[in-house]
A = this chain, B = another copy of it.
């Protein structure tokens, strides 16, 4: 997606300037993984014009493998307009993503066996199946092929209430998709909204309760026997500038609650969840202990809140430094 943000804390169109970058769930994860030094291939469809080419150039610059991207003549790229909130004023997103090439791409357009060849892990989010019936179909094709190829599948539920307009409900689609996932990533409300598994967690209260998540995780594990890990991010939103950020990870036999980061001067929280997903994938592929994977993921996504743009522009060394306890912010020279 093309992201068009008003500068600083200005409201949309308060000045005549928009900051134009690219972003979006799976792209953010791919960039994060490439930044961490992993091989990451990104599958999508882009319009065959200067906008699609600019997006390609940015992703390729980060080292993402773009060989699987399909270019479509005459289409458009989804856009989202963003203004950054402050204090009690929330950040605001206006979507203009209908009729994008990825939304209109017919099922069967991607040869997933070829596109996924040589890969060991597939990551998908709940945003793609939310944008159109055909995109949901493609998402299903992807996870089915991945399982056929013995790949690990992770799914970030990522519920967006303003999408899901094409006739099917989130629960209907995501329940099926989740049946192919080895690792599930969710935030405080995703399981409820996407899978219909409830817990007494009010998003607005700002108070989070690990016990409730434990109950949710048990229910998910019971329903989906192939799931190995469920990770839940816990955002305590004090204001648009101040969030506390932590997560918990549930395995079949174990459960971990991460350190909590107090983030009082948020630079940009969009993409925070994606940076967590990328951190978790990196961590589960790198560290011996799930606890370390979780701590890496939380530290990585904690740092994301201090970085402009959708992408998490940090290195493994920077994440590990924080993960090991140095969050003092002292000048590095």
Residue A222 at the chain B interface, CB threshold 8 Å: no
Task: Please choose the segment from A49-57, A113-121, A133-141 that sits at the chain B interface, where 4 or more of its residues have CB less than 8 A away.
Answer: A49-57
Task: Please choose the segment from A175-183, A280-288, A302-310 that sits at the chain B interface, where 4 or more of its residues have CB less than 8 A away.
Answer: A302-310
Alpha-carbon distance A60/B57, docked complex (angstroms): 8
Partner of A99, one of B99, B270, B302, B330: B99
Given the interface pairs A88-B261, A264-B264, A306-B86, the reply to whether A333 lies near B14 with Cβ below 8 Å is no
Q: Is the interface of A mostly helix, strand, loop or mixed?
A: loop
Q: How many copies does the complex hold?
A: 6
Give the contact-size bracket for chain A.
35 or more
Residue A212 at the chain B interface, CB threshold 8 Å: no
Alpha-carbon distance A327/B57, docked complex (angstroms): 28
Given the interface pairs A16-B19, A20-B18, A62-B57, the reply to whether A333 lies near B92 with Cβ below 8 Å is yes
Residues of B within 8 A of A18 (CB): 4, 17-20
The interface centre, meaning the residue of A18, A269, A306 with most chain B CB atoms within 10 A of its CB, is: A306
Minimum CB distance partner of A4 in chain B: B18
| Interface 0/1 of A167-185, CB less than 8 Å to B | 0000000000000000000
Partner of A61, one of B12, B60, B327: B60
A14-B309, A204-B330 provided; 11 other pairs, C-beta below 8 A?
Answer: A9-B307, A11-B307, A17-B18, A18-B18, A85-B306, A89-B303, A89-B307, A91-B331, A91-B332, A242-B264, A270-B331
A residues within 8 Å of B by Cβ? 4, 8-21, 49-51, 54, 57-58, 60-63, 76, 79-81, 83, 85-96, 98-99, 160, 162, 203-204, 206, 237-242, 261, 263-267, 269-270, 302-303, 305-309, 313-314, 318, 322, 325-333
